Structure 1
Amino acid sequence: MKMTIKEIAKLAGVSQATVSKIINNYDDVGMKTKERVLALMDEHGYRPSYAAQSLVKKVTKVIGVIYAGKINANFNHPFFVEVVSTFKKTMGAEGYDLLFFSNEKFHKADENYLQRCQHYNVDGCIIIGGEHVEPSVDDLVQSDIPCIGVDIQLDGPHSGYIMTDNNQVSALAVEHFYLSGQREIAFIGGAESSLISNEREKGFRERAKAYGLQTPDDWIVYGDFFEDSGYKQMNELLKKERTPRAIFAISDLMAIGAMRAIKDQGLDIREFAIIGCDDITAARHVEPPLTTIRQDKDKIGRMAAYILKDLIQGNIERTSLKVEPDLIVRESTGHEIGSV
């Protein structure tokens, strides 16, 4: 029969709290007592549960997962799916489980992420950034619960964040267009309220200006990072008196939507040059395969896990990290074109 911490404490003639201190390697227990308890645990094959480890440290080995804002509410953007998958595997190897919090609605006016995290006694949280982030996220970030943000800047006392260098994302795209002979470029961004979209648009405008490229104001349009918005905005661009033939869409899904719009209009996709961002799996399977700016999703997920673990353990207090992107050249920009 499986032993419990209560039974081990009874056999050793000590309190459950003392057994918990020994399990959690506290140094305020005498060596003889520690040796006696450890010997009993070994003799009876006792392995401490998460609950046992929590009696002293209040460690639950549970990490809250929050998709903040509207854009990520369905958990279905390939970039975030891959980041969170890597994060889950990395934290799982460290003995942590994940608890996903709903952001569909709060049932009571005084309910918020902080109270819900306190209710479940999570050790820390990963917060995935979206658009129109709920104000209650800030209450959580400013608390003593360690938080790591992905694509959202956190400034709490025990927080950190990690994201791709979005200025460099646009720099790589514009530079590739420039070296390919393009001199006029359209831009399909995310929502105008999006931090990520704004950073990429700023980088796009700055680098285009540095290279003397033309980016007409009516060629700067906004979607929502998903395919249908790329399709819609590309159709709008195709209605312009002068049609852009070089397009930078700041997500692969929007770029794929733009390619679909071009084909549905009966135009030759080979007369256009299109760059996306993320390097999702679908990017290499569309026709033509999509040139893209690769975000290192595996590294972002692993770094988010390790930073959060260090925040939980008190090894660091606040930190931020930007991950360098890479240009992946495929056939969607494999030819010289111009504007008409």
Structure 2
Amino acid sequence: MKMTIKEIAKLAGVSQATVSKIINNYEDVGAKTKKRVLEIMEEHGYRPSYSAQSLAKKVTKVIGVIYAGKINANFNHPFFVDVVSSFKKTMGAEGYDLLFFSNEKFHKADENYLARCQHYNVDGCIIIGGDQVEPSVYDLDKSDIPCIGVDIQLEGKTSGYIMTDNEKVSSLAVEHFYLMGQREIGFIGGKENSLISEQRLEGFEKIMKTYGLSVNQNWIKFGDFFEDSGYQVMSEMLKEHEIPKALFAASDLMAMGAIKAIKDSGNSVQDFSIIGCDDITASRHIDPPLTTVKQDKEKIGKMAAYILNDLINKNLQHTAVKIEPELIVRESCGAAKKV
């Protein structure tokens, strides 16, 4: 039988108001009293869902976490793992807990993020962008529940979004190739219809034209941001008559897959110049260490937390933020030569 606040108070010899204050982390309760009440709650397995005061104020100090889009390996991608870790740390310091929502019923009629967020009475949500985003994500965006998007554009009055300047990502890569004497440059994007792929491809084509470089459509390929797709795309390129000697892959994992394909084909990696994107930890430990365009994962997570906190506390209305990327030069541009 589930214990009540009244029963906990009786066992501890305190008022129900005192138990409620302890649940809500009020500071005007003595340490000994707080310790005794918490021990009794633990002993009897009492787990409050929401305190009366929290419900009255509609404040639960709970943030929903949604990985939007068709089920893929987003939970395992190093970039998103690091962003969410930074977000969690910052929101935790503000007193919030995170509640992860499942999208196992992707695109089913009963998939309704807004209703579920209302059921759990979350104070706000962080939405991580993916491919083929469920329509219910945008219903949530239009609601009065504050949301912050990462790699997804949200337009609601109580929403905001943050992402790396993706056109600048491609610009830094192509500029480095150009300064190192490379003129024949290929591009491997993620999913062709994804927002991030579109922005990085747009930036790639724009900067190529800026430097008077021709864009070979046969050298523009798409994967899924993961290693296997980079391997497959590079393997296909290596079978063609004309092969780009410089290649920008829109993720480090795809760049690593491309490097492995070059090695497995019997070619020398030193004959190619490869640049990835993200600066995940593994990028500095592969052979050769990967030149990459760094996304500031810690800053993105921290900024997302601060923006969402301000949206929740009505200190901010809709806002969009772009984070500057940074080129990290390592040895994977072996074929590049200064001119």
The bucket for the TM-score relative to the shorter chain is 0.7 to 0.9
8 Å CA contact 1:223–1:229 kept in 2: the answer is: yes
Amino acid corresponding to residue 135 of structure 2 in structure 1: P
- 1:331 alignment partner, SS class: coil
Report what 1:260 is aligned to.
Answer: 260
Report the equivalent of 1:207. 207
Could you tell me how far apart the structure 2 residues matched to 1:106 and 1:216 are? 37
Cα pair 1:293 1:328 within 8 Å, conserved: yes
Contact 2:245-2:271 at 8 Å conserved across structures = yes
1:42 deviates by 4.7
Please tell me whether residue 62 in structure 1 is matched to residue 62 in structure 2. Answer: yes
Aligned to 1:153: 153
Aligned to 2:224: 224
**2:114 maps to 1:104:** no
Post-superposition offset of 1:52: 5.0
The more displaced of 226-235 and 42-51 is: 42-51
RMSD (Å) for aligned C-alpha atoms: 2.6
Within 5 Å, give how 1:291-330 maps onto structure 2.
291-330=291-330
Give the CA deviation at 1:5: 6.3
What is the CA distance between 1:163 and its match in structure 2?
A: 0.2
Contact 1:2 1:46 in 2 (8 A): no
Q: Partners in 2 of 1:228 and 1:53 — Cα distance?
A: 51
Partner of 1:35: none
Select between 68-77 and 254-263 the one with higher mean Cα deviation. Answer: 68-77
Describe the SS at the equivalent of 2:277: strand
- What's the CA shift for 1:111? 3.9
> 1:163 maps to which residue?
163
Q: Which residue of 1 aligns with 2:143?
A: 143
Counterpart residue identity of residue 128, structure 1: I
**In 1: Cα distance, 2:89 partner to 2:298 partner:** 10
Q: Which runs of 5+ in 2 are unaligned?
A: 1-10, 39-47
2:16 is aligned to 6
Report the TM-score when normalising by structure 2. 0.86
Cα offset for 1:56?
2.7
Look up the equivalent residue of 2:163 and give its one-letter code: M
Gaps of 5+ in 1: 10-15, 26-37
Question: Aligned AA for 1:258?
Answer: A
Q: Secondary structure at the match of 2:51?
A: helix
What's 2:44 paired with?
none
Judge conservation of contact 2:114–2:140 (CA < 8 Å) in 1.
Answer: yes
Q: Distance in 2 between matches of 1:86 and 1:98?
A: 12
| Contact persistence 1:106–1:112 (CA under 8 A) | no
| Matched pairs, number | 315
Structure 1 distance, partners of 2:229, 2:31, is: 64
Match of 2:126? 126
Q: AA paired with 1:328?
A: I
Relative to structure 1, the CA distance from residue 287 to residue 143 in structure 2 (aligned partners, 3 Å threshold; closer, same or farther) is: same
CA deviation vs aligned residue, 1:11-65 (integer Å, no higher than 9, x gap): xxxxx8xx89xx899xxxxxxxxxxxx97x4598459986254043121111100
One-letter identity of the residue aligned with 1:6:
Q
Deviation of 1:165 after TM superposition, in Å, equals 0.3
2:41 alignment counterpart: none
Q: Is the 8 A contact 1:86 1:298 kept in 2?
A: yes
Compared CA separation, residues 2 and 227, structure 1 to 2 (3 A): farther
Return closer, same or farther for 1:125/1:210 CA change in 2, 3 Å cut-off. same
Q: Secondary structure at the match of 2:332?
A: helix
- Match in the other structure for 1:89: 89
Paired amino acid for 2:318: R
Secondary structure at the counterpart of residue 327 of structure 1: strand
Contact persistence 2:150–2:163 (CA under 8 A): yes
For 1:45 and 1:160, locate their aligned partners in 2 and report how far apart those are by CA, in whole Å. 42
Is the alpha carbon distance of 1:2 and 1:153 closer, same or farther for their aligned partners in structure 2, counting shifts above 3 Å?
farther
Of all paired residues, the percent bearing the same amino acid is 67
Inter-partner Cα distance in structure 2 for 1:209 and 1:268: 29
The offset of 1:337, in angstroms, is 6.2
Number of the residue aligned with 1:33:
none
Task: Answer yes or no: is the 8 Å Cα contact 1:73–1:103 preserved in 2.
Answer: no
CA contact (8 A) 2:70 2:106 kept: no
Q: Would the alpha carbon gap of residues 287 and 45 (structure 1) be closer, same or farther in structure 2, given more than 3 Å must change?
A: same
CA distance in 2, matches of 1:214, 1:125: 43
Give the distance between the partners of 2:178 and 2:244, measured in 1 at CA: 15
Deviation at 1:74, TM superposition (A): 4.8
TM-score, structure 1 as length reference: 0.86
Aligned partners of 2:177 and 2:336 also within 8 Å = no
Q: CA deviation at 1:8?
A: 4.1
Distance in structure 2 (CA, Å) of the matches to 1:299 and 1:201: 24
The amino acid across from 1:218 in the alignment is: N
**Are the equivalent residues in 2 in contact too, given 1:273–1:332 (CA < 8 A)?**
yes
